[in-house]
Chain A
Amino acid sequence: MPVFLKMSVSITFLRPFARCLVPFTLQRKRRVLYSTILQRYMSSKIPAVSYPNKESTSPPEQLELDGWKVTMKSSVQDEDASTVASSKDEDPLTATRELIEMWRLLGREVPEHISEEELKTLMECVSKSSKKKYLKYLYVKEKMKKAKQIKKEMKAAAKEEAKDQLLETTKEDKQQNFLFLRLWDRNMEIAMGWKGAQAMQFGQPLVFDMAYAEYMKPKELQNTVSQLLESEGWNRRNVDPFHIYFCNLQLDGAYHRELVKRYGEKWNKLLLTATEKSHVDLFPKDSIIYLTADSPNVMTTFKHDKIYVVGSFVDKNMQSGTSLAKAKRLKLATECLPLDKYLQWDTGTKNLTLDQMMRILLCLKNTGSWEEALKFVPRRKHTGYLEISQPSQEIVNRSKKSKTFNSFPKGSLNKRSQKR
């Protein structure tokens, strides 16, 4: 407030002069602009004109400008013969490798090392832009790997140091009494296994429809499998897990292969049902609800006697309506999350990732509160919750300041309750 007042005062003071000030500054600016243009023009023009007979006209203190050329040319003269001879017969593979190397020198985003296999993938890219995209992907991957490596080394060094210190201090350590051995991870694993087995018997089914392999590119498929892995992990850790079904999972299809590759030996010990059958064969049709963001029906409550189906489909290609078409074909009920009802949506698609869906459904199942459940919607996608009971709050919510102000106590409050 005081700042504001001050500002207005200073403006009132300036205002009478404003009209004469503005043209003056404008003029000056223009003059400066002219002079720089003129300067630039002259400086670029003069050497160009006098170029052919520069030696004669240049002043005596003229810098030695062409010296580097001689050294650049001469320094390689010795190795010249060998390189020229070898460069005559080269296949496109090595040519591409050299191209990437030159791009790296130029500071483009390309990887430092590239394997034969990656190089072949690169050659198979149809267009220039897809090649560049793939190279950038490799570059980022390489960078992350390197950063991780460095971090790992630093950690190892720190550990080594801590160990040395520990050795010094624990020499005279006395006997201590403990109730448990430190086998927490394994105990947790076993407990989760028990809960999972219970869910297999009595849990509410949750279906992942795997019939979308044909709509996805390899990369999207990999992303989908990552999301499936994560959602399975969230489910396992929950108090009351779902009984997960992977329906329409073709044996030795792309999905199956990728899943087995990622899970390894654990794949056969997973506490979930993977089947080639469709969900309409396993469950009564009228109890199935297909969840899709394109659905015209909005989900109001989580029903414990229904079977929810989530399409395991990462769609980077904007094929909207694919899952809705699937549900229409099988004449299934569809629903979408009430995102617009509870959230002030900002950017991004309404399609959420599989693990977010899983966490939302788990939360709904356990608490039934939409506010709690929709906390798992990424924060970047919306600007805040809609307070339906208090319309005046909405206006406050809209302006930027109050938004951060509003969300802060909420978040801290939740943390506290979780701790308890």
Chain B
Amino acid sequence: MTFCFTGIRSFPKLWKSNPYLGLGPAHSSVCLFLKDCYGIRNQQKWFSLKTASPQNTKAVNLLIAKARYPRKGDKGNKKQVSSDSPHLFAAGAAKKRSQMNPQSKDHVLSPVRDTIQLPTKPLNSEEWDKLKEDFKGKANFENWISSQMAHCRSSVDVAKSLLAWVAAKNNGIIGYDLLVKYLYLCVFHKQTSEVIDVYEIMKTRYKSLESGGNSLLIRGLIHSDRWREALLLLEDIKKVMIPSKKNYHDCIQGALLHQDVKTAWDLYQELLGHDVVPMLETLKAFFDFGKDIKDDQYSNKLLDILLYLRNNQLYPGESFAHSVKTWFESVPGEQWKGQFTTIQKSGQCLGCGKTIESIRLSPEEYEFLKGKILRDVIDGGDQYKKTTPQELKRFQNFVKHCPPFDIVIDGLNVAKMFPKSRESQVLLDVVSQLAKQNLRLLVLGRKHMLRQGSRWRRDEMEMVQKQASCFFADNISEDDPFLLYATLHSGNHCKFITKDLMRDHKACLPDAKTQRLFFKWQQGHQLAIINRLPGSKITFQRILSHDTVVQTTGDSWHIPYDEDLVERYSYEVPTKWLCLHRQT
């Protein structure tokens, strides 16, 4: 043990460069070997190799270089990220933030494969018997092997030989579960005639099927001439539950494949009637099919789909955006021209120069949101949960008697931005910098900030109070709802400063529509500080001036879409746009 410790001590620099093991050397070594045994991270493996053989310096240096190399790469990435600095709600921003956080490590567990090799060609019954003997597991052999085959998408013939073997053993009877797994393989390999055979068998053998079998049959049947029977199966599902959007998608796809446009639209309406959000593939299918149809009614329905996307703040995927573009360009006599662009900071489309809709809420929307925040987020049916009635009254009086503010600051969030510097100093720094710009400030905080302590100096807090209006809530009250209300009360020009994404408060709102309104308002009014060093001049994440939503002006359409390779979180918006305009 001592031997390996000396090994570690001789490379103190290396340890420092490793952020995972910030503790003392004795402690971290335990950590290291534990990790190494589990084989979680490759890098640590390199280290353990090194500690074991400190005498061979040449090789060690090589290894160190190797171990360091990925770290350097990381740093390069980081720089890139910070220089890019996408705005808080841009697609992929959260992913990048999480990558910047060094604590996140992903465990990669190698899947444990079972011992039996799946057959690649049909076997006869002797061979199956032999395979069964080899199998040692808790589960039923037939079940297990059929699941494995479904999982690995074995060929239909192999599965068929399994069924033949089972049937031969079992007086020609095959269990429902085996049949469903076989059906899955047939559907996967698009063997329509097999699907129909299984369909016949199931129809005669069982009075009714369950949802899984029905879904598979629907998916299999829509490609055949008997696709109308898929609609009957859909009716069967409806008897007990609402069919899934996938079921509807398959049926609509089937109808479109067989040129039955009316049925397709009827199914679509029915789907919307169930309050189910359709799959984007369904909508794409309508656009794809629309290329060959020259019909005003159909075109209007497609435009309705675009409006549906707008109202529900849905964004098409990349291929869907291409379909939309192709359809627009295929409309005869209208000469649409589409291009993929981005939007400038000023809110102008790079493609056509038109200004995108503003992020501002309309006055009615604004009043509506204000009322909802007060009623559902602050009050929430029980005023004692987040505050007390006395405090609420005190706050409302306070806000009423102050002229509107320009900026509302979440004192605690801002002060805790740099863990190494003193809270009150950071807060004072931010407040005085903003006060120099002649902005009317409001600082929200809790009462404990006023108590003298090592983190909160009284003189600095007094300076803050001189430069800004302050409101201190009780220590057990929540300050975020007050922040939201004060900002909303001051009017549309007022902004608020916090890094908090406010997802919990958004969740308090009753319905999706209000939540979307809140999100839109938040995008337009939240300032997040992106400084990495205390003391430097504060810079804010830029605020979008435009709303990211599907929109039209009659002779132009602007449609934001998701790129295939970017992972977008639910509270982010896409950055890429499809710009369509009519040439005159």
Q: Chain A: residues with CB nearer than 8 A to chain B?
A: 1, 4-5, 7-8, 11-12, 15-16, 18, 39-40, 43-44, 46-48, 51, 63-69, 71-73, 75-77, 80, 83, 86-87, 90, 92, 95-96, 98-99, 102-103, 105-107, 128, 131, 296, 321-322, 324-326, 328-329, 395, 399-400
Contacts and interface: CB of A to CB of B under 8 A. Distances in A.
Given A76-B204, A87-B208, A99-B208, A65 B241 contact: no
B344 interface: no
B180 interface: yes
B167 A71 contact: yes
Given A11-B52, A43-B120, A131 B164 contact: no
Contact of A106 (B180, B193, B388, B476): B180
Interface in B173-190: 173-177, 180, 189
Contacts of A5: 3
Given A102-B208, A103-B210, A105-B177, A65 B122 contact: yes
Interface in B1-53: 1, 3-4, 27, 30, 34, 48-49, 52-53
B155 A47 contact: yes
A54 to B, nearest CB: 9
User: DSSP majority for the A interface?
Assistant: helix
Contact of B155 (A8, A48, A321): A48
Contact of B164 (A65, A99, A329): A65
Contact of A68 (B53, B174, B177, B209): B174
Given A72-B173, A328-B388, A329-B384, A67 B1 contact: no
Nearest to A48: B189
A39 to B, nearest CB: 6
B172 A47 contact: no
A324 B476 contact: yes
Contact of B204 (A7, A16, A73, A324): A73
B207 A63 contact: no
Nearest to B59: A15
Contacts of A43: 120-121, 154-155, 158
Interface in B119-163: 120-124, 143, 152-158, 160-161, 163
A71 B172 contact: yes
A87 B204 CA distance: 12
B427 to A, nearest CB: 22
Contacts of B241: 128, 131
Given A48-B155, A63-B122, A12 B27 contact: no
Contacts of A102: 176, 206, 208-210, 213
B205 interface: yes
Contacts of A66: 160, 164
Nearest to B197: A69
A48 B194 CA distance: 11
Contacts of A11: 48-49, 52-53
Closest 3 CB pairs of A and B: A71-B172, A68-B167, A102-B210
Contacts of B475: 296
A72 B201 contact: yes
B107 interface: no
B157 A47 contact: yes
Contacts of A395: 27
Contacts of A63: 122-124, 161, 164
Contacts of B205: 72, 76
Given A12-B52, A63-B124, A95-B239, A75 B385 contact: no
A72 B124 CA distance: 20
B176 A325 contact: no
B49 A15 contact: yes
A87 B208 CA distance: 8
Given A63-B164, A71-B167, A87-B208, 13 more contacts: A7-B52, A15-B49, A15-B53, A18-B49, A43-B154, A47-B156, A66-B160, A66-B164, A71-B172, A72-B167, A106-B177, A128-B241, A322-B382
Contacts of A87: 207-208
B492 interface: no
Contacts, number: 145
B104 interface: no
B70 interface: no
B240 interface: yes
Contact of A72 (B52, B172, B209): B172
Contacts of A107: 143, 177
12 contacts: A63-B122, A65-B122, A66-B164, A69-B201, A75-B172, A80-B204, A90-B239, A99-B210, A99-B211, A324-B476, A328-B384, A400-B34
B111 to A, nearest CB: 14
Interface in B425-460: none
Contacts of A329: 384
Nearest to B50: A15
Given A8-B4, A105-B177, A399 B53 contact: no
Contacts of A69: 197, 201
Given A1-B1, A69-B197, A128 B242 contact: yes
B491 interface: no
B13 to A, nearest CB: 22
A296 B167 contact: no
Contacts of B156: 47-48
Nearest to B241: A128
B164 A322 contact: no
Contacts of B388: 328
Nearest to A74: B172
B167 A95 contact: no
Given A73-B200, A83-B207, A325 B122 contact: no
B56 interface: yes
B195 to A, nearest CB: 12
Nearest to A13: B53
Contacts of A46: 155
A72 B163 CA distance: 11
B191 A51 contact: yes
B416 to A, nearest CB: 18
A322 B122 CA distance: 63
A43 B177 CA distance: 24
A68 B163 contact: yes
A13 to B, nearest CB: 9
Contacts of B177: 105-107
A92 B239 CA distance: 6
Contacts of B167: 67-68, 71-72
A279 B410 CA distance: 39
Nearest to A64: B164
B371 interface: no
A71 B201 CA distance: 10
Nearest to B119: A43
